[in-house]
Each structure stands twice: as C-alpha cells, then as structure tokens.
Amino acid sequence: MVHALCSGTAAGARLGELYRQAGPLTEDQLREAAGLVERAGSRDWAEAERDRLHAAALRHLAGSQRAGGAADELAELAAFLVSRTL
C-alpha cells in the first residue's frame, strides 16, 4: 500500500482518494484498490524487494561460522516462504 500511495502514479493518486473517503470501502472499491496497487507497480516492487532481501539473508547465512546445520535449515525455510503463493 505505502509503495502504491507514494508511487507518484495516477493509480496511486486514485488509491489515496479511496482511502481518504469516510467509511469502509465497498467490495467494488476493494477490488478497484487491488487493481490500483498492481497498476502502480507495487507488486513488481514487492517481488523485487523480496528477492533482494532473500539473497541478502542467504549471503549472511553462508557467511555465518557458528550457525552450522541451522543455517541450512533456515535457508530451506526462507526458500519455502518466498516461493509460496497465497
């Protein structure tokens, strides 16, 4: 959300309008908001950020002298978490 709202795009501006209105969003507005997040490029940004952070975590685990076998288990857990779909 924050990325979309700060994206400087028309989609981000419209998303801001939706969130500034009084009351909860309707089902149609929620669907619109999801599309606006996509059009603002926020999904692509989030996926790139996920990949960057995952790679950094793996580098840190690889450089850990004291983690032993736990590093491998953590790396497997991280791979599972970043590859799952909701």
CA 52 to chain centre: 11
**Which residues lie closer than 8 Å to 29 by C-beta, 6 or more apart?**
18
Count CA atoms closer than 13 A to 82's CA, side-chain side: 18
Range 54-74 average pLDDT: 84
Spatial distance between the Cα atoms of 49 and 84, rounded to a whole number of angstroms: 16
pLDDT over 70 at 67, yes or no: no
Q: Could you tell me what percent of the chain has a pLDDT over 90? A: 69
A 10 A CB-CB count for 4 gives 24
pTM beyond 0.85: the answer is no
Domain parsing of the chain, residue ranges: 2-40, 44-83
